[in-house]
Amino acid sequence: MSSRTCPDWPELMELAPELQFKHYTVAEARLPADALMRIPDVPLGDVAICCDLERHVFHAAHTDERVAAALRESHWFEVRDWVAAGRPGASF
């Protein structure tokens, strides 16, 4: 487990074992432009996101609420929405 691994990993593993949630700054995550344009006043290097970057799924409990709101308007999913939607894009 890396230092970036989300401390909620046991709960998240039960919910979506195929995902790997880690903590990043928004700048490190390189979020899509359509999400970034919704948060122009957010300091990207100082604000946190907890996500699986590869599958575009975030954990809202550990993500800045402004970033989470912007991501919900993009192609990204909150983990519970991703599970409810049938795990789009997941490879089993």
What confidence tens digit (pLDDT) does each residue in 29-57 have?
Answer: 999 999 999 999 999 999 999 999 999 99
- The pLDDT of residue 18 is above 80: yes
- Alpha carbon distances (Å) from 12 to 17, 33, 41, 57: 7, 27, 30, 12
CA pair distance 43, 54, nearest whole angstrom:
23
Q: Are residues 57 and 19 in contact, defined by beta-carbon separation less than 8 angstroms?
A: yes
| Encoded amino acid at 18, one letter | E
| Encoded amino acid at 52, one letter | D
Averaged pLDDT, 6-33: 95
Q: Are residues 42 and 66 in contact, defined by beta-carbon separation less than 8 angstroms?
A: yes
